Amino acid sequence: MLPYDYVAVMLPGITIMTAIQSASQSGFGMVADIDSGFMDKFFVAPINRTSVLIGKLVADGLRMAIQSSIILLIAYVMTLILGWRIPFATGVPGAAIVVLLATAFGIAFSGLSNAVALRTKNTESTMLVSFTLVFPLQFLSTALIPKPLLPSWVQRFSTINPVSYLADASRALIVSGYDWSAIGKAALAIAIFGVILNGLAVMAFRAQGK
């Protein structure tokens, strides 16, 4: 019998999935701003267009950080009230790292939604592309089930799935302790994912209004 509840295993995955779901909707606001003509004001303003996109990502990141913090707070309260066996092995500092990882990956993934939104200027297309990628990332990873318990073909896919690295690092912070190797791999996965997807968003944004 495990010294902790399965809720403890799921908690980091739920935190990450919440950030991903929020990030997948980031482009909806971009489409709304384009349709309303609000974005045109930025296109003609004498400012760096990249700074506009960065500002939006910061706002998205703040929202994701609040959402992730609420999930962890609820889990902690349920530990006190219902007796859930969630170790929170690294305490508040570890929880802060879990929130940071989820938020950083959410910001990275927002690049896809924003890039599609800027290219298509269509909410339905943005939703289709974002959600099509969301579910394989979530369910073909170690977010909800540890890798040894997954089918062999899912294990192979999870090896190249960035969500798995975030889930493994976050799970260690909650149930066992600091695993700096896992945290480093998660940070690298976020960096690679973020550079690629937000790079596409920056190029799409700079192409607007030309």
**pLDDT by residue (tens digit) across 61-120?**
999 999 999 999 999 999 889 888 888 999 999 999 999 999 999 999 999 998 898 888
Judged against a pLDDT cut of 60, whether residue 209 lies above it is answered with no
Give the Å distances, CA to CA, from 209 to 4, 117, 134, 199, 204. Answer: 55, 14, 30, 18, 10
pLDDT at 4: 67
Give the H or E element holding residue 103: helix 91-120
pLDDT at 73: 94
The pTM is what? 0.89
pLDDT at 191: 95
Q: What is the pLDDT of residues 13-53, one digit of tens each?
A: 899 989 988 888 888 888 888 888 777 777 676 777 677 78
